[in-house]
Amino acid sequence: MNKEIVNDGIIEEKQQELPTEKRWSWIIANVTNETAMPAIRKTIGVIAPEELDITLPLIFEEIYTNISHYSYPLESKLKKAVITLIDRKKEFIMDFKDEGIPFDTTAYPEPDPSDNAHKIGGHGIELVRKLSSKMEYTREKKEDGTSEINHLVIYIQKS
C-alpha cells in the first residue's frame, strides 16, 4: 500500500501478510470525517469476503464517524486515529485507537425502542453490537506515557 496519501488525510497506510493473518492499517491525522473515510471504506470493501461485503464497511463507517464527531468535540478535525483491520481464518478484527475523550462503546446502553423508535441517529453502536461477535474497550497509556488513548477492538465472525 502507499505512504504519504496526504490528500485523503491518511498519513500512513500499511499492509502486512503474516503466516496466520493479513493486516491493513491506517494512521489518520488532522482530517474531517469526509476526507479519509472514502479511501479506507473502499479498501475494506475490496478486502471483505462476499458474506461480509456490507458488514465490514458499515462497522468501520459507524465507529469512524463516532470517533471523528465525538472524540474531539472542541475541534473541527479528527486529531489522530490508528485503524487496523486484521483478517484471520475465522474472523475479522477491527482495531481503533484515538486520543480523544474517553468513551466506552461497550458500556453504551442499548436503546429503548419505545423511547426513540422514530429518532434519527443514536443507533450506530447498537447496529455494530448486532453485527459483531464481540467488542472490547480499554483506556490505555500511550507508549510515551504522556496521555491516554481509547482502544476499541471489534470481532466479526466469518461464515
pLDDT recorded at residue 105: 87
- pLDDT score, position 108: 83
pLDDT score, position 3:
40
Q: Over the stretch 24-74, which tens digit does the pLDDT of each residue have?
A: 998 887 766 566 777 788 888 888 888 898 899 999 989 988 888 778 777
- Number of helices (H) and strands (E) in the chain: give both, helices first: 4, 7
User: Can you give the residue ranges of every domain in the chain?
Assistant: 3-157
Q: How many percent of the chain have pLDDT more than 90?
A: 36
**What CA–CA distance (Å, rounded) separates 154 from 133?**
8
Average pLDDT, the chain: 83
Query: What mean pLDDT do residues 93-114 have?
Result: 86
The partner residues of 46 in beta bridges, in order of sequence, read none
Residues in the chain: 159
Do the bridges between strand 10-17 and strand 3-5 make them parallel or antiparallel, or are there none, so unpaired? antiparallel
User: For position 157, what pLDDT does the model report?
Assistant: 95
Nearest to 141 by CA among 133, 150, 132, 153: 150
From the options 2.70.98.20, 3.40.50.300, 3.30.565.10, 3.40.50.280, give the CATH code of 3-157.
3.30.565.10
Q: What is the pTM of this model?
A: 0.85
- Predicted confidence band at 78 (pLDDT cuts at 50, 70, 90)? low
- Determine the 3-state secondary structure of 4 from DSSP: strand
